[in-house]
Structure 1
Amino acid sequence: MKRKLLAIGAALAAAVATVLLVVTPASAAVGLHISGTDVVEANGQKLIMRGINHPHIWYTGQTRAFADIKATGANTIRVVLGTGKRWGPSNDVPAVIQLCKQNKLICVLEVHDTTGYGEESAAASLDEAANYWISQKANLVGQESYVVINIGNEPIGNTNPAQWTAATAAAVTKIRANGFQHLLMVDAPNWGQDWQYVMRDTAQTVLDADTQHNTVLSIHMYAVFNTSASIINYLDAIKAKGWPLVIGEFGWQFASGEVDDATILAQAQARGLGYIGWSWSGNTDPILDMVLSFDPAQITTWGQRIINGTNGIRATSREASIYGGVQPTTPGTSPSPTPTTPAPSRGCTATYATSGQWQGGFQGDVKVTAGTSAISSWAVTLTFPNGQTVSQAWNATITGTGSTLTARNVSYNGTLGAGASTNFGFLGSWTGTNGAPTLACTAA
């Protein structure tokens, strides 16, 4: 984001380690919460965030970004809001939450005005950020299974970063005293990168301030984390403390001395840590844009790496169970749905669901399940009843014209074990009626 890049340049960028603490058992949880070192849902299922930051406060008209981000396979979106101190105020929280839910995304809401407090004269304090959340309480209560409150973005700059501990603990205390039961996320000082290790060394004070023990730490990883050793050492230090962690922002190594994005992705996957990349679009310097001009057709090198690359979003993301997503029971497989048609031994079935719909547009999801024998490729024919058209697809290559289209597997999801499943999705347009397509699945 344009403002983000200024902050990153001024402060060598940020490293956010999101850490979680042991809390109430899953049976007693209201919604998203901490269990051991994991973020879990109310039903106890682990949620590993695979998300993208969206600069909503500066581009409130770009609401299509929610569906486009979902189309990458992401399960989480971190939405930039403002208190009115510097940007905003964001008075559209209910609409933002609805967009998240409509697109089956976990919604991390963050106040951006706090960025660089103490060094940036215009920044809001964490106390002011807490007051904003309290003002929004009526919009947030009841959304605990869908919403994470990220109290303030990169809330302390490089001037007196030690103030982070008391200020963050006080903000957590104030929010809890006002009855919030949400999972809270707190960003590190030093513009989020914690290069003086204040969060790493003192975060227990913040975690202990939470009467519900439901706070996760977030590290932002930019130029401070430009080597494999710097990343691994920081993550190891947090792990040794027994604090759960998410990487709330990071960029990519577009030049020598920049962030080692490949190591971040690999370490996050190996450790089961969530990550949320910066950012979808809208940066003044588009080097950190995943797509240009909010157009998914103009995907950048950074976008290709984090969305389609090794350990990227498409390969590792799993939809939250609150939206019906399930974690694979074994690597590479998923529980089979009830087939809509009998599956031959070397064949497949396909089931369809509309996962989002808006005026003139919709998002479709198709689950392909192998029969009683393994398959090496599949194809699904979709016949639409009402003249719908498809404009974009992911996890499949779609060909054809008119009402009948054929979706074929891509290189990484054609091979399925017996009974195993994979999903592909698409964005489409409709007028009048949006009836479900009929499906026919073939396999080899």
Structure 2
Amino acid sequence: MAISGAGVAASAAGGLAGVLASGRAPAYAQAATIHWLRWNDFVPASDQLLRREIAQECQRALGIRLNIETINANDIQARITSAVQSGSGPDIVCVLNNWAQLYGQSTANVDDVAEAIGAAQGGFYETSRTVAHDGQRWVGVPWSIVGLQIAYRKSWFAEVGYERFPQTWEEYRDAGRKLKAKGRPIGQTLGHTFGDAPAFAYPYLWSWGGKEVEADGRTVVLNTPQTVESVRFMTAFWREAHDEGGLAWDDSNNNRAFLSGSICATLNGASIYVEALRRPQAYQTERGTPMKDDIGHAPLPRGPGGQFSYHVPFTNILMRYSRQQEAAKRFLAWIGSREVFDKWFVSQKGFSVGPTRIWEQHPLWNEDPVMLPYRTAAQTGRFAGYAGPSNRKAAEVLTKYILTDMYAKAVQGMAPEQAVREAHEELVRIYGAA
């Protein structure tokens, strides 16, 4: 792709703002190689796009050679820890959840990049800002948000009296009990896995009126009657309605179980539906029709405390040890520009939304009504650490799966009161630390 004269002029005149406006970097950018570590995307076409088209365009537009490495998302934190300790490794790491807060002291300053992207695109969602800004500076540049909804088999729920997806936990439990009796349980992980487990446990807790800490971000208030009741309900709900093997699942097991017809519903990104669309002949219902036509999407049900959601944000962190910091910042500004990010966004087919609100208006959302629940999902999300900030301590709680384990211990036989008490004590140790 040739660099237009206007694009070079705008870039040279406006620095990073010019890059964002033109989708081009200055023609005088020095050659460099950037190592970008990412997860193995649940939409394989997006990884292919980055490696083929985007990497080539990056070299043409920026003079930067892009080395993209993808690994299992559950292995990313170990790689970062090793890289920080050794002082070498990937220049940029695309991290999930609020992991960026854990590594803030090891990340380079990207304030100018993040502020320019936010200003050019109507501002970031609160979730993206919360996980990527520590209150004083940007510890990373927001990349995207994977919306979480319940994917479910419409015809199966209709068979047990739910033409509309259950609106409350009591209704969901009733539907799940009836479907499990037919060999079609709900599939939900309570394992140590990055997305589906915390994205269920946190909003489930909030929907019963429970929370980790007060707004001061210091006072731990997990051990309440509301939290205990949420755990007590979950133990019966799990036994009556769930595939109990879900305790050991990661974020891919439920995809496979759903597409094989083994479960009736699961909390997930849109990857199940996207895969069913991609291979309609491979994924069929028991009637021999494409499964894609029997998949619906709905938010998590509401509880006594309301209805809430948790969507998984992604943030690109630039490591302080990197010897290519200026080139990396040019790259982050370029790939975050509307022109370039648009190509990746389209390849996601709605699985990920942008970190800014402008992507809600993208024509992609007009193509498939089944995907519409994901379009504005990020507007409603809370994040780990509520009602306090989603800071380093909240990230530690999340990374240690303390809330997920609270429910997992109870469904395996621990008394609800004890499970809550142990989780509360772990939070006190973390939030009470200096």
TM-score, shorter chain, exceeding 0.5:
no
Of structures 1 and 2, the one with the larger relative CO (CA 8 A, separation 6+) is 2
Q: TM-score, normalised by structure 1?
A: 0.27
Higher strand share: 1
